[in-house]
Structure 1
Amino acid sequence: MVKTVRLEPIAQESAVETNGNLLSVLLHQELTVLKECGGRGMCATCHVYVNDGMGSLTPISRREQRTLAIITSCKGNSRLACQARVMGNGVIVEVPPGMYVNSIKDIESLIGRRAAQDLLHPLTGKVLVEQGKLITRSMMRQIENSKDLNLNDYFKHSN
């Protein structure tokens, strides 16, 4: 049976089969979702906010709880789209603003320009570069050398 999910702030409705996950809804609407972990609930790249209809989704698993615990922009209504399965109607999902960085080259290519949107760490969702900030070479060195983000290790394994 088909259920309807509404996406905000783009005001789009999308159909999904009962027990289909929210990630399929995002991909159906051609939203850019990195799904860096392949839909296993281990990264932040499909993090969404459920503004209404949380009871129409499957419960949060332990793996999802562990991943949500490291996402810096996590709220009480946070879910991983790859793990949240739609069981009923009335689900309203908000896609967090910003762009998850897939590679350090994503940021390097923007040196000398202002970030059009927040640039986010792919595992924690931490803002690496705020919207409107000028991206400089010194900023890049700070990001590359930031020990709390472990970006160097992450990007070595992802490229």
Structure 2
Amino acid sequence: MVKIVKLEPIAQETEIATNNNLLSVLIEKDLDVLKECGGRGMCATCHVYIKQGMNFLSPMTRREQRTLEIITSCKPTSRLACQSRVLDDGVVVELPPGMYVKSLQDIEALIGRRAEQDLLHPVTGQVLVENGKLITRSTLKQLETTKFQIGEFLTYTTDA
């Protein structure tokens, strides 16, 4: 059976099959989702906020809770889209504002420009450069030790 999910702030309603995860909706709408861990609930790059209908989603697993603990922008309404299965109508999803940085080259190409939206750290979701602010070389410094192959990094750290 099909359920309706609303996406904010883009004000779109979309259909999703019952028990499918929210990530499938985000991918279908071609939204900025990295899904670095392949939907295993380990990377937080599909982090969303649930504005309404938290009780219409599958319960949060311990893995999802642990992953959300590393996100600096986490709120009580945070969920991972890959782990949130839609059980009923009435879910309203708020997409975190900003764009995840995918590589140092992404930043290098933008140095000297103003960010058109918040630039987000690929692991923590922390805002590196706010919307409208100048992108500088210091942003590169903040990312020097970041592992951009997040899926591989998380697999290694969870196996240890």
Q: TM-score scaled by structure 1?
A: 0.90
Query: Residues 71-82 of structure 1: matches in 2 within 5 Å?
Result: 71-82=71-82
Query: Residues 4-153 of structure 1: matches in 2 within 5 Å?
Result: 4-137=4-137, 139-145=138-144, 150-151=145-146
Structure 1 residues 57, 156: closer, same or farther in 2, change over 3 A? closer
Q: Which amino acid aligns with 2:82?
A: C
Query: Unpaired runs of 5+ in structure 1?
Result: none
Secondary structure (helix, strand or coil) at the match of 1:155 reads coil
Secondary structure (helix, strand or coil) at the match of 2:66 reads helix
Q: Distance in 1 between matches of 2:150 and 2:65?
A: 24
Asked if structure 1 preserves the Cα contact closer than 8 Å seen for 2:128 and 2:139, the reply is no
Q: Distance in 1 between matches of 2:42 and 2:150?
A: 15
Identity %: 67
Q: Shift in Å at residue 157 of structure 1?
A: 6.8
Q: Distance in 2 between matches of 1:144 and 1:25?
A: 30
Cα deviation per residue 1:111-137 (whole Å; 9 max; x = unaligned)?
110111111111111111122121122
Cα deviation per residue 1:31-68 (whole Å; 9 max; x = unaligned)?
12111111111112110000000110000000000010
Q: Shift in Å at residue 156 of structure 1?
A: 6.6
Q: Shift in Å at residue 105 of structure 1?
A: 0.8
Q: Distance in 2 between matches of 1:157 and 1:50?
A: 24
Q: Which amino acid aligns with 1:111?
A: I
Q: Which amino acid aligns with 1:53?
A: G
Cα deviation per residue 1:82-141 (whole Å; 9 max; x = unaligned)?
00000001000000100011111111110110111111111111111122121122x144
Asked if structure 2 preserves the Cα contact closer than 8 Å seen for 1:72 and 1:126, the reply is yes
Q: Shift in Å at residue 30 of structure 1?
A: 1.6
Q: TM-score scaled by structure 2?
A: 0.89
Moved over 2 A (4+): 155-158
RMSD: 1.7
Q: Shift in Å at residue 155 of structure 1?
A: 2.9
Asked if structure 2 preserves the Cα contact closer than 8 Å seen for 1:22 and 1:86, the reply is yes
Q: Which amino acid aligns with 2:15?
A: A
